[in-house]
Structure 1
Amino acid sequence: MLRALRATGVDVDTAPRRLAEYSYDASNYRVPPLAVIFPRDADSVATIVRLCHRHGVPVIGRGGGTSMAGNAVGPGIVLDFSRYMTGISDFDPEGREVIAQPGIVLTTLQRRIEQLSDGELTFAPDPSSKTRATVGGAVSNDACGNHSVRHGRTSDHVIALDVVTVDGFRLTATSSGLSASDPADRPAVERAAELEAELRELTTQHMSDFRTELGRIPRQVSGFHLGHLLPENGFNVARALVGSEGTCVIVVGARLRLVAKEKAALLVSLGYPDVVEAARDIMTILEFKPAAIEGIDEAIVDTMRFRRGHDSVRGLPDGRAWLYVDLDGDNADAVAAEADRLLARLKENGRLIEGMTVPDPDDRASLWRVREEGAGLASRLVGGGESWPGWEDSAVAPENLADYLDEFRTLLSDFELHGVMYGHLGAGCMHIRITFDLRSDQGRRVMQDFMRAAAKLVVKHGGSLSGEHGDGRARSELLPIMYSPAMLSAFARFKRIWDPQGVLNPGSLVDPDGLGENLALEGIPDREWRTSFDLKPVNAPVEGKTPSGAVDSFVHAVQGCVGIGKCRTDTGGVMCPSFRATRDEKDSTRGRARVLQEMVRSSPSVAEGWKSEEVREALDLCLSCKACSTDCPVGVDMATYKSEFFDHYYEGRRRPMSHYSLGWLPRWLRVTERVAPLVNAVMATPLGAIGAKLGGLTTKRPLPKFASRRAVDQELLRARDAVPGKSGVADVVLLVDTFTRGFRPRVAGAAQRVLGDAGQSVECRKDACCGLTWISTGQLGTAKKLMSKAIGALDDGTDRPIVVIEPSCAAAFRKDAPELLGTDASRRVAARITSFAGMVTKLSGSGWTPSWPDGTAPEAVTVQTHCHEYSTFGAATQKAALKGIGVPEVREATGCCGVAGNFGFESEHFDISMQVAEQSLAPALRASHPETPVLTDGFSCQMQVKQLDPDRPSLHLAELLDPDPTAEPT
């Protein structure tokens, strides 16, 4: 069959690495596919599906792969629409309609519609995964979102669907029937008529069942939506297919209804003692016709603050559970007055602890980020526990929600489980991730018993097993608890009408797999994976253990990825620059994590462990930017896993030459600092290009000039003379790192002068190397030796701040040192480490004002956000420093520069490096006035700016603030 597919010209990918990536979605399940295909158009989809039907091979449609119910994995051919089928057409602003291909991401669709309509229109459904979930996925699951109180479900916005049937016909499902997409295609016309006749007969036989069992609550998503076929609903075949989870047809296009954007909106934040008490106020809030009522509990907030700092959550009132209420309208004053009336009314109810409006846009963004990342944050909690989907998506009528949740908490207690609660409380839909132990047989049995009990409980309260994510492998087995035999018979017939042989997405809805089958954490070999990094959770309740019992720390770390897929976004944050460049799952953090997960389970596709070529290939384009460690809601740190893997993979093997040339850079700098003029002269000749090639370096990027030891000493001596120190022990230790010594000595002098200008006496250290280049290339034995020596030198018995000029070195001391060495000394030193920008923020907060060289702060500054500083010291570190010292306008290029240490200098990675630069840095440079200062605290960032715009000077923050006007910037 694969040969027949390839004969049609389709690119069929059966590589072991690719199959590993697509064996998972965001659920608890793992099902390896036969092959993965990235279709380019609807005709190729029809060809593929027709051949699979002929050979009886399953077909699974996939968008962003974010399904939490297991309906984006399967045993046959996976069709990933997110690479090529991502367009829109037939935009009609008057009729408020657009046609979208299935692979377009929801936020991309919204952005394009808003651009085309001058901000007047948008696509309403906005699930929390909207930055990576696709239109096809939203149609498949009947996705809703944070504003479903106002805008309902995806089915409410579907006008028509272009579909491919299992036998390869292209049909269009409309609000009144079924037709051939091409009226001239007579076989398709006949097929449409046959299917429509069977659907009408089904509806006639089950009218009373459809009327009494379906559409009872706003979020009844479980099962098929056959109520749309009733006469009073116009025989709407399009909407009947929404939510069918890819089990009936393959959607290749959707005509969607658009809505007007509100002109004014205000978020109201409400604090309650617990989620149940919050739910009791829902009906009161609904009287005010809000656009959204969303809820979270304290476990999610605590985890967010633990992972990203206390300021990562702003705008929350007192409480242990919170509601976000979005009020909107045409007039901002009227909306604010309505918010005041709402707060007064809720205070009268007596359950509210505290409420407030949140007018600040940054605070609103902070709160929505916490809600939207709930699934990931709940997976690895601040207390060290794990929680999982499964009973992720239940829904009841809003008026029944509080009583349901009250009994649900009792049920959790009966099973000795804990549930992290968040979700769409205004629509009665709760996302509850539960502390199932999916690593043991007993824990898996408990999960199955609990799910059956929970299904009975939600049905008792008139609810639905699924309110948004679909049933998939997680809940389809439980549908007999919710529906009568007659309705189940109708579901089965509906499926057979479209797909008699069960080829499309088998295992879901009809003839489902058991909810305990194909669990991803079952069958993991009990093996110890020796690592240099200490990867135990820093917040684990028992050293070396999780609530699931003893788990190898490396296994536990790489299994942190639960498939949320935030690494597949194209805007916001920094993660994942290589995916944004290639749009290939293998280059996402999730794709790499899935291959590592196959490695630790000794899967036949990735069976070589530390020597696996599939894993090496998956990690090849990881820039080690570390952004995933903070942008990923679960905190997956792929840079660390890459370093660990490379350390083992290259043991006993010859490494790439760049691992010796760039990986050993500090050693070479000891030589070049003695003969820097000679080396620079040679590098400017054709011999330099030859040397670069031999060292595995690109010749497309100019190499930096090396600094002499004398230049460093002179800069520091000049700075010391300019700002005399105090007697006794200095206030601050200034660590002049290897990169600064080797390439930017003037930055060292500037940093010393700035600290002196702030009244700080400075002790300069040049004798401590963090070993970063050895860490990033996976040479951890040498890295540990250098790091240990450095820690010994810096652990001086004081608590003085250690200011590290190069942000990547600062991050290595702060994060890598404790994980590599695991000593008390490394933890003491790590606690003292700060980046230069962080120190500037502290000093300005204490009242210091810089002595600007020209007397005033620049009007604007463009900042290349340093990835390691972003991930280790906080996303807004550099912006906060500039705002604190009075810079009015700060333009941030928030994204990896593309050089990322050795990556952008390696010959095989140069082109990707430049593609990454186009994500944020290059556009920011083009948008900046030529005289606007460009800050590049990282040496790699400076090199990329020189590559993109050789004539534009780029500065370290220390150079911008240097009080000595005669000091020339590097």
Structure 2
Amino acid sequence: MTGTLAASPDTDVRARLAAACPDILIDTSVTSRAMYSYDASNYRVSPLAVAFPSSVEDVQTLLRTCHDLALPVTVRGGGTSMAGNAIGEGLVIDVSRGLRAIVDIDVDAKTAVVESGVVLDDLNRELVAHGLAFAPDPSSKSRATIGGMLGNDACGNHSVRWGRTSRHVIAVDVLLADGTMLRIGPDGITPVHRRDAAASERAAALESELRAMTQDNLAIMRTELGRIGRQVSGYHVDQMLPENGFNVARALVGTEGTCAIIVRATVQLVEPPAATSLLVLGYADVVDAATDVPLILPFEPTATEGIDDAIVATMIARRGADSVAALPEGRAWLYVELDGATQHDVHVKTENLLHELREAGRLLDGFVVDDPDQRKSLWRVREDGAGLSTRPDVDTQTWAGWEDAAVDPHVLADYLRDFRVLTAEYGLSGVLYGHFGAGCVHVRLTFDIATAEGRDHMVSFVHAAAELVVRHGGSLSGEHGDGRARSELLSTMYSPQMLHLFRRFREAFDPDGLLNPGIIVDPRPLGEDLLPLSTEGFVEAGGRDLLFTYPHDGDFGSAVQRCVGIGRCRSDHGGFMCPSYRATHDEKDSTRGRSRVLQDMVSGALGKDGWSSDAVHDALDLCLSCKACSSDCPVGVDMATYKSEVLQQKYRRRLRPVSHYSLGWLPRWIAITGRISGPVNALLAVRPIRLVAMRLGGVTTARRLPRFASSRRARLAASDANADVLLFVDSFTKGFRPDLVQHAETVLRATGTTVGAAPAGCCALTWTTTGQLTAARRILTETARVLDESGDAPIVVLEPSCAAALKKDLPELVPTDAARRVSARVTTFAAAIDARLDAGWQPPVLPDSVLTQTHCHQHAVFGATSSTKVMNRLGMKTVDVEGCCGLAGNFGFEAQHYETSMAVAAHDLRPKVEALDGGIAVADGFSCQTQISHVSDNDVRAQHLADVLHAALTDNNPQEGAS
């Protein structure tokens, strides 16, 4: 199932499926099938089709149809499975779009009824007003669905306190493979619809069989299951023991969609702790850290998480030193969260624990982290572990495969010690992190899955690792389920009698084996269906020369393999990624979806000339080239760069879309109109002429065109020799907001900075984003030359997108020493002001509070807080817009993308602008300013930080302002 997607013998089955379900979206396109061939594991299985039901009844219709067609079914939510349990060869049903209802919240009973597609973070946002939460909190909580958590019996950072998802399940509504709908809960197994006679009969027969198999297997259920808290592998049939109340609902949790499809669940809620404290502990290595875990557990922590120095180093390398709050001395760390009724109680508990750990002698250093921002920074390092550990450095790629084994935490140190010996024997290295308080260790290892020898080596190691963890009384899986990665190994962990019981349990629900086949029962060999990673010959195919140099990956093929399916880009909140997915909730419009299609392209699955594939361009169409993924994606996927390269290759020596000429050549038009701005503006003021010009240029007529300015206005009042900084006047500033140049100059001089004019040049941003890379390289080569000859003073660029292009795109398109030197000198206006504050400059009185829209490119290249941090230092409280403004340079001006652009703006920008009553909006990016003006119903006009400071200086010192 890993071959080309271009042709398929299953056309008749697809047609019958579509005919039987005419009101349900069923996608058989190459694009969709490519994306859904993957989850977050090492496996790829191409589905026949992908369905997107909008209701429980739709799922029932799909299952009935697939049962009639004998078509296998795999249901998935966020698609973040790391064991290969969310991909399948038949129909994949994605419930994350349509089954998102929070049906009921009972505050008194502390319960909630939710559909399986509800995202965990969305549920908890609804619950916070009631002082309640759904306790399991996997690191993927921003995109993990409740159905997926039920499928894997997910746990999370606080499982040492709250346990697994199964502990919090009261009842489930399920669909069997033939579409029979049942309710399984405290009242036993009953039909959801009482008058459904067939369902009643099936419920009675199923309950009878489950009781019989329980009675037949009491001994092995009591001795082989439930031995440690994180025994996730296999089926949890011990929940049906008499002492567990014959709890079939909990027995179904963790079945990975192989027995029944959970479409709705009633879950128990908890009250979050009244007071907490985060203690960070430093150790020489992870074994020392694990050795201290048994000393910590009696203090009843809510979390005890471990990380090693490789994750921290990767985080700092990728996102800068500011991305990681101060850590104690050490090469491994434990995060220990303690709680209590009051902060005083927590403080006492913390001091007692620190004393005991110091007495034990392994702790190098430890302290309490009270600052909320520092806590958030530290938790993000832990939560991004799976992604950060994928590419710990330029030359290393790590993979899942032996990813989340668990042991009793009291033997964790012994297991880790032996595990390190085993990895050394196999010549493997990896990154360790995990839920140390629960004995669960995540590790990604340097497997070679691109060659047959490497795959055989991986299989051999995994079998040896399985024997090792079983010798330590542990579980093959402690969190992510068995899937394709571990199902074959269950015979290492369980007796033949238990494996027979698992089969009997599954067949009681799904006798035909249509639900997620190859998982747990009758497993697929773990070495089959692995990703096709070979890209040999791809880059050179057709004699194409790639324009970007991909210094962090080596080539385009390796670059697009960065995505391992973690799916942070599918989050609706936090960071800037991925704006188009937030607008459409379509996998095709996520960074992950695009990456998966590109991976199929480089592996040859899309045919010989994937550069021109409709699937590729369908996936890339709504990419805003915002660059947010390059910083927000834990593995550093840079989709803006990949899109530029694909556009370059597709339109090589071909006619391009008209907007590539109108908007892609914008700096050229600005240079022309700058000499005749008056006549141009007069012509464009005539509505018929303006509309014709916009339509001919592929530009949406729903927007106002900005007025062109005279190029003579965008000049410094004076240019100092041997200046402290050089001010670079970019095309957007020159063409549309020339007064900004004098404002910035005035402000910089007021800080005691001497200012010179940087040589004229262009960052080639618009050519780059439209994939005109030959022209972009030519332009940037000249820009690098003239700027390199200007000395070594910092180059302050007023437009954030241009600053980002000179900082990042320049050395990656022009791999010369001159380009790298120029890149190192480039800085933003905000950073220049930050430096003057460090030097002791006292700013004028500024507004108390401002709405801030950070440009996506600034966020990605210069840091998430590179702008707001400076405003806070200036004394302005910032209300930050979450995510992209939606205009994104040429994207929001293109006629075919206008609606998506406005949908992105509606996510957070528009509501905050509409709520701004007489306040100030600060947005340094010209695109952001334009979008704010467009969405504003109350005449909000965004200003550059230089404008705000200039106005304050003018008000406080008229003579200074007039200089």
TM surpasses 0.5:
yes
Equivalent position of 2:847 in the other structure = 858
CA distance in 2: counterparts of 1:313 and 1:4, whole angstroms:
54
Amino acid at match of 2:128: E
Q: Does 2:95 align with 1:81?
A: yes
CA distance in 1: counterparts of 2:226 and 2:492, whole angstroms:
17
From 179, 184, 196, the counterpart of 1:168: 179
Amino acid at match of 2:706: P
Q: Does 2:921 align with 1:934?
A: yes
CA contact 1:299–1:382 (8 Å) conserved in 2:
no
Amino acid at match of 1:896: C
Find runs of 4+ consecutive structure 1 residues off by over 6 angstroms. Answer: 966-969
Equivalent position of 1:416 in the other structure = 427
Within 5 Å, give how 1:756-771 maps onto structure 2: 756-765=749-758, 767-771=760-764
From 573, 579, 582, the counterpart of 2:581: 579
Within 5 Å, give how 1:683-698 maps onto structure 2: 683-686=684-687, 687-698=689-700
Q: Percent identity?
A: 53
Displacement of 1:515 in angstroms is 0.6
**SS of corresponding position for 1:317:** coil
1:547-603 per-position Cα deviation (integer Å, ceiling 9, x unaligned): xxxxxx111100100000000000000000000000000000000000000100111
Displacement of 1:844 in angstroms is 0.9
Displacement of 1:356 in angstroms is 0.4
Q: Does 2:653 align with 1:652?
A: yes
Residue 587 to residue 618, structure 1, CA distance change in 2 (3 Å): same
Equivalent position of 2:209 in the other structure = 198
Residue 168 to residue 109, structure 1, CA distance change in 2 (3 Å): same
* Consecutive unaligned residues in structure 2, runs of 5 or more: 1-12
Equivalent position of 2:556 in the other structure = 554
Within 5 Å, give how 1:132-211 maps onto structure 2: 132-175=143-186, 177-211=188-222
Amino acid at match of 2:323: S
Amino acid at match of 2:859: Y
Displacement of 1:892 in angstroms is 1.1
Displacement of 1:112 in angstroms is 1.1
CA distance in 1: counterparts of 2:608 and 2:619, whole angstroms:
15
Amino acid at match of 2:709: A
Q: Does 2:742 align with 1:753?
A: no
CA distance in 1: counterparts of 2:910 and 2:567, whole angstroms:
26
CA distance in 2: counterparts of 1:863 and 1:797, whole angstroms:
33
1:457-476 per-position Cα deviation (integer Å, ceiling 9, x unaligned): 00000000000100000000
Displacement of 1:675 in angstroms is 1.0
Q: Does 2:50 align with 1:36?
A: yes
CA distance in 1: counterparts of 2:216 and 2:874, whole angstroms:
74
Within 5 Å, give how 1:373-392 maps onto structure 2: 373-382=384-393, 384-392=395-403
Displacement of 1:533 in angstroms is 4.2
Q: Does 2:224 align with 1:213?
A: yes
CA distance in 2: counterparts of 1:162 and 1:261, whole angstroms:
27
CA contact 1:264–1:328 (8 Å) conserved in 2:
yes
**SS of corresponding position for 2:316:** helix
Equivalent position of 1:406 in the other structure = 417
1:861-904 per-position Cα deviation (integer Å, ceiling 9, x unaligned): 111111001100010011111122222x1111131111111001
Q: Does 2:776 align with 1:783?
A: yes
Displacement of 1:706 in angstroms is 0.3
Equivalent position of 1:241 in the other structure = 252
Equivalent position of 1:550 in the other structure = none
Amino acid at match of 1:555: G
CA distance in 2: counterparts of 1:957 and 1:920, whole angstroms:
21
Equivalent position of 2:638 in the other structure = 637
**SS of corresponding position for 2:78:** coil
From 312, 315, 323, the counterpart of 2:334: 323
CA distance in 1: counterparts of 2:128 and 2:549, whole angstroms:
44
Amino acid at match of 2:453: Q
Within 5 Å, give how 1:431-510 maps onto structure 2: 431-510=442-521
Displacement of 1:799 in angstroms is 2.2
CA contact 1:314–1:363 (8 Å) conserved in 2:
yes
Within 5 Å, give how 1:14-413 maps onto structure 2: 14-115=28-129, 117=130, 120-175=131-186, 177-382=188-393, 384-413=395-424
**SS of corresponding position for 2:444:** strand
CA contact 1:845–1:884 (8 Å) conserved in 2:
no
TM-score, normalised via structure 1 length: 0.95
CA distance in 1: counterparts of 2:48 and 2:419, whole angstroms:
40
CA distance in 1: counterparts of 2:375 and 2:170, whole angstroms:
33
CA distance in 2: counterparts of 1:229 and 1:46, whole angstroms:
26
Residue 492 to residue 524, structure 1, CA distance change in 2 (3 Å): farther
CA distance in 2: counterparts of 1:534 and 1:184, whole angstroms:
65
Amino acid at match of 1:857: L
**SS of corresponding position for 2:527:** coil
CA contact 2:759–2:787 (8 Å) conserved in 1:
no
CA contact 1:21–1:591 (8 Å) conserved in 2:
yes
Equivalent position of 1:549 in the other structure = none
**SS of corresponding position for 1:159:** strand
Residue 526 to residue 784, structure 1, CA distance change in 2 (3 Å): closer
CA contact 1:896–1:916 (8 Å) conserved in 2:
yes
CA distance in 1: counterparts of 2:128 and 2:109, whole angstroms:
15
CA distance in 1: counterparts of 2:363 and 2:723, whole angstroms:
52
Residue 23 to residue 167, structure 1, CA distance change in 2 (3 Å): same
Displacement of 1:928 in angstroms is 2.7
Q: Does 2:881 align with 1:893?
A: yes
Equivalent position of 2:863 in the other structure = 874
CA distance in 2: counterparts of 1:417 and 1:24, whole angstroms:
25
From 782, 804, 807, the counterpart of 1:811: 804
Amino acid at match of 1:685: V
Equivalent position of 2:942 in the other structure = 954
CA contact 1:60–1:246 (8 Å) conserved in 2:
yes
Displacement of 1:798 in angstroms is 2.9
Amino acid at match of 1:93: V
Equivalent position of 2:596 in the other structure = 594
From 700, 703, 725, the counterpart of 2:702: 700
CA contact 1:525–1:602 (8 Å) conserved in 2:
no
**SS of corresponding position for 1:287:** helix
1:86-123 per-position Cα deviation (integer Å, ceiling 9, x unaligned): 011131111111111010111111111223x1xx1110
Deviates more, 1:67-76 or 1:177-186: 177-186
- Provide the aligned length of Structure 1 versus Structure 2: 938
**SS of corresponding position for 2:714:** helix
CA contact 1:266–1:359 (8 Å) conserved in 2:
yes
Deviates more, 1:525-534 or 1:97-106: 525-534
CA contact 2:14–2:28 (8 Å) conserved in 1:
no
CA contact 1:534–1:822 (8 Å) conserved in 2:
no
CA contact 2:548–2:645 (8 Å) conserved in 1:
no
Equivalent position of 1:608 in the other structure = 609
Displacement of 1:507 in angstroms is 1.2
Equivalent position of 2:897 in the other structure = 909
Equivalent position of 2:7 in the other structure = none
CA contact 1:396–1:458 (8 Å) conserved in 2:
yes
1:664-697 per-position Cα deviation (integer Å, ceiling 9, x unaligned): 0111111101110111111111201110111000
CA contact 1:176–1:235 (8 Å) conserved in 2:
no
State the superposition RMSD in angstroms. Answer: 1.5
CA distance in 2: counterparts of 1:696 and 1:630, whole angstroms:
31
**SS of corresponding position for 1:193:** helix
CA distance in 2: counterparts of 1:756 and 1:788, whole angstroms:
31
* Consecutive unaligned residues in structure 1, runs of 5 or more: 545-552
CA distance in 1: counterparts of 2:28 and 2:158, whole angstroms:
40
Equivalent position of 1:547 in the other structure = none
CA distance in 1: counterparts of 2:549 and 2:218, whole angstroms:
58
**SS of corresponding position for 2:299:** coil
1:272-312 per-position Cα deviation (integer Å, ceiling 9, x unaligned): 11111000010110010010101110000000000000010
CA distance in 2: counterparts of 1:298 and 1:901, whole angstroms:
39
Amino acid at match of 1:868: H
Displacement of 1:161 in angstroms is 0.7
TM-score, normalised via structure 2 length: 0.96
Amino acid at match of 1:735: F
Within 5 Å, give how 1:702-851 maps onto structure 2: 702-713=704-715, 716-717=716-717, 720=718, 728-765=721-758, 767-796=760-789, 798-850=791-843
Residue 306 to residue 228, structure 1, CA distance change in 2 (3 Å): same
Equivalent position of 2:4 in the other structure = none
